[in-house]
Structure 1
Amino acid sequence: MIMEKKIFMVQYSAEQLQEVISAGVKRQLDEFSKHFQPKQPNEYLTKRQVADLFNVDISTVHSWAKSNKIKPLGMGSRVYFLRSQIEESLIPLNQ
């Protein structure tokens, strides 16, 4: 036996019902937006781009990668760096 739940809304005018529905939808959208964070696409930089970003020589970028100051990623013979990881590797001075 299936129980059906029926709701009767004789106490609301059309305008009041619209307001109640709008408020409910707004609450749901607000709750959804609290938990939804769109993912930013990864930006990959080459050694040259990292060197240009910091105004250093490519050999410096190679040295940073070799000493694990920045994390290189590879595809074939190409080397890339995630911009977000490069920015995270910066440390504040004078703490």
Structure 2
Amino acid sequence: MANQKITQVHHTNQEDLTASISKAVEKIFDRFKENFQPKEPTIWITRKEVGEILSISLVSVDIWTKKGILTAYRIGNKKRFKRAQVESALTKINN
């Protein structure tokens, strides 16, 4: 007990101090939880995979990319697509 440090807090008891600290920490974590959104990793797919997912030809993938329906990203001489964007390009049809 020779190394024990003592901090004096006046006009409060141990339970009140513990409750006050717990509330402060809880508020900090609540703000953190509001702003924290786990980031989902980007899944990159090829033209061929886009064609397979949408059941279209590679020519159609290129045409839809030129029309702006699909967004392609170029890395060197290779085109890649974000899977989430390809899936979000699909629109619901109400009959």
Q: The TM-score by the shorter chain falls in which range?
A: 0.7 to 0.9
Quote the Cα distance in structure 2 between the aligned partners of 1:53 and 1:65. Answer: 15
The SS at the match of 1:84 is helix
| TM-score after normalising by structure 2 | 0.75
- When the two chains are superposed, the root-mean-square deviation of aligned CA atoms in Å is 2.1
Q: CA deviation at 1:45?
A: 1.0
Deviations 1:14-56 (A, max 9, x none): 2321121111101111012112223322221101111121233
Q: What is the alpha-carbon distance in structure 2 between the residues aligned to residue 48 and residue 13 of structure 1?
A: 69
Question: Which residue number in structure 1 is paired with residue 12 of structure 2?
Answer: 12
Which secondary structure state, in structure 2, belongs to the residue aligned with residue 10 of structure 1?
coil
Shift of 1:57: 2.4
Structure 2: gaps spanning 5 or more residues = 1-7
Match of 1:90 in 2: 90
Q: Within 5 A, what are the aligned runs for 1:1-95?
A: 9-94=9-94
Residues in 2 aligned to 1:90 and 1:9: alpha-carbon distance in whole angstroms: 62
Q: Which residue identity lines up with residue 78 of structure 1 in the other structure?
A: K
Q: Which amino acid counterpart does residue 52 of structure 1 have in structure 2? A: E
Q: Which runs of 4+ in 1 moved over 4 A?
A: none
1:5 maps to which residue? Answer: none
Q: TM-score if structure 1 supplies the norm length?
A: 0.75
**2:63 counterpart letter in structure 1:** S
Q: In structure 2, what is the Cα distance between the partners aligned to 1:37 and 1:31?
A: 12
Read off the aligned partner of 1:82 and give its amino acid letter. Answer: K
Query: Which residue identity lines up with residue 91 of structure 1 in the other structure?
Result: T
Gaps of 5+ in 1: 1-7
Percent identity over the alignment? 27
Corresponding residue for residue 5 of structure 2: none
CA distance in 1, matches of 2:49, 2:15: 59
Q: Number of residues paired by the alignment?
A: 88
